[in-house]
Amino acid sequence: MTGSSNDRDVAVLGVGMHPWGKWGKHFVSYGVHAARAALRDSGVAWEDVDFIVGGETVRNGYGGYVAGATFAQALGWNGARVATSYAACATGAQALDAARARILAGLCEVALVVGADTTPKGFLAPNAGERWDDPDWLRFRLLGMTNPGYFALYARRRMDLYGATQEDFASVKVKNARHGLGNPNARYRKEVTVQDVMDSAVVSDPLHLLDICATSDGAAAVVLTSMDYAKRHGLTSPVRVRAVSTVTPTFPQTVIDMPLLSTDPATAVAPAELTFKQSIGAAAYEEAGIGPEDVSLAEVYDLSTALELDWMEDLALCQQGEAEHLLRAGDTTIGGRIPVNPSGGLACFGEAVPAQALAQVCEVTWQLRGQAQGRQVENARVGITANQGLFGHGSSVLLSR
């Protein structure tokens, strides 16, 4: 199954990144760096790119609001079609899906997808101004609920349902920090211990500072082509995008979802069989015709350490309540049964919102090619990502060799 192809596959010919950090530059410079790296990796000439999708970054002026054209101009106008995508943390996956759809429709052969961000210091917050009908603004104004407040709710839920401990959460950070040592694009490349995590400041109980990802500057880019284009250029077995899941929730949502202040009532309508996050991965598997048992590695959305454990179950990599057991057994580290975040994850990168879903695709591509030096998952054939977006934007990409 994993080696098969279908008429919905597109080829990943090139990937590139700008290292994550706090560099003090404009987001466009990061995006251009990543785009040029992806083009070099692909061997595709800039003139051959006939569709450009930019991941929007709302904090960086009008250039960020029209990111597709902004990157096209910075790279040098070439007459390509253009689009801009915004879906919060799912931006990169939805931008990738727009490019894939245009290729599959026969409307283009080569697409460049770019996401880049320059983030403020501290917690991400809404733009200035009063907006009483905006749930994202209301959560800050009414409850003082920054993102880590929600992460703590999810963590407390795991503790109550499955017996997770703060030491388990800290162990996720320890694992990812060790993985990140081998990643030249990671911002934080330093080993930590469980005690280091436990000794760091409590941000939102039960989570400590080292349980929560930072905000970062960074960029990632992907060159997609039709399978026919790849074959004409001598690439008979490129990494392929097998599915992109962008599903939305199903009413009623009985698990709190950021930035909402409550769950939906389930009195008149019974909850769906799958929760929103579970449905994201399920849709990817169904579209690709690949099951979770085929997955070699996963790059998931570890905004907090506890969320990584949730995603392992939501992607059906283990049963509900089993994530801690896999973690403790070493199954989720490189060399284990199902390595999770071999890149180091957001724990080592931090958030660069329009770029992070694309960064996951870059990492999976390197892994499937056998190019993830210092952090390689042996015999990797299938990789899945998860990077949920605000306001019910699903995000998962499934790739195979």
DSSP line for 95-152: HHHHHHHHHHTTS-SEEEEEEEE-PPSSS--PPSS--TT-HHHHIIIII---HHHHHH
Phi, psi of 8 (to 5 degrees): -105, 5
- Contacts of residue 36, Cβ cutoff 8 Å, sequence gap at least 6: 16, 75
As a whole number of angstroms, the distance between CA 303 and CA 47 comes to: 38
Asked if residue 127 belongs to a domain, the reply is no
3-state secondary structure of 189: coil
Q: Which amino acid is at 223?
A: V
> What DSSP letter does each residue of 303-346 carry, written as one string?
SBHHHHHHHHHHTTSS-TT-HHHHHHHTTTSTTSSS-B-TT-HH
Same domain, 78 and 189: no
> Is 346 part of any domain?
yes
Do residues 222 and 310 share a domain? Answer: no
Calculated CA dihedral for residues 86, 88, 90, 94, nearest 10 degrees = -10
What token pair was written down for 225? 């082509």
Whether residue 58 lies inside any domain: the answer is yes
Residues 168 and 231 in one domain: no
Answer yes or no: is 74 within a domain: yes
**0.75 surpassed by pTM:** yes
Please give the distance of CA 276 from its chain centroid, rounded to a whole number. Answer: 16
Same domain flag for 369 and 385: yes
Statement to judge: residues 222 and 293 lie in one domain: no
**100 and 62, same structural domain?**
yes
> Do 51 and 83 meet the contact criterion of CB atoms below 8 Å apart?
yes
Residues 48 and 151 in one domain: no
155 and 115 within one domain: no
226 and 367 inside one domain = no
- For residue 99, what is the domain's CATH number? 3.40.47.10
Determine, yes or no, domain membership for 361. Answer: yes
CA distance 83 to 70: 10
Q: What is the distance of C-alpha 208 from the center of its chain? A: 22
47: in domain: yes
Q: Are residues 226 and 321 in the same domain?
A: no
39, 16 in Cβ contact below 8 A? yes
What is the domain range of residue 78?
Answer: 10-122+218-237
pLDDT per residue as tens, the chain (401 positions): 444 557 789 999 999 999 999 999 999 999 999 999 999 999 999 999 999 999 999 889 999 999 999 999 999 999 999 999 999 999 999 999 999 999 999 999 999 999 999 998 888 888 778 999 999 999 999 888 999 999 999 999 999 999 999 999 999 999 999 999 999 999 999 999 999 999 999 999 999 999 999 999 999 999 999 999 999 999 989 999 999 999 999 999 999 899 998 999 999 999 999 999 999 999 999 999 999 999 999 999 999 999 999 999 999 999 999 999 999 999 999 999 999 999 999 999 999 999 999 999 999 999 999 999 999 999 999 999 999 999 999 999 999 99
Are 224 and 371 in a shared domain?
Answer: no
Is 176 in the same domain as 62? Answer: no
In this structure, is residue 129 part of a structural domain?
A: no
Are the beta carbons of 71 and 31 closer than 8 angstroms?
yes
The residues, any chain, with a CB within 8 Å of residue 360's CB and separated by 6 or more, are 92, 299, 343, 385, 387, 397
Please give the Cα distance from 34 to 180 (Å, whole number).
19
In the chain, the number of structural domains is: 2
Q: How many CB atoms lie within 10 A of CB 128?
A: 7
Domain assignment present for 332: yes
- Name 53's bridge partners: 83, 113
CA angle 123, 356, 28 (to 5 degrees): 85
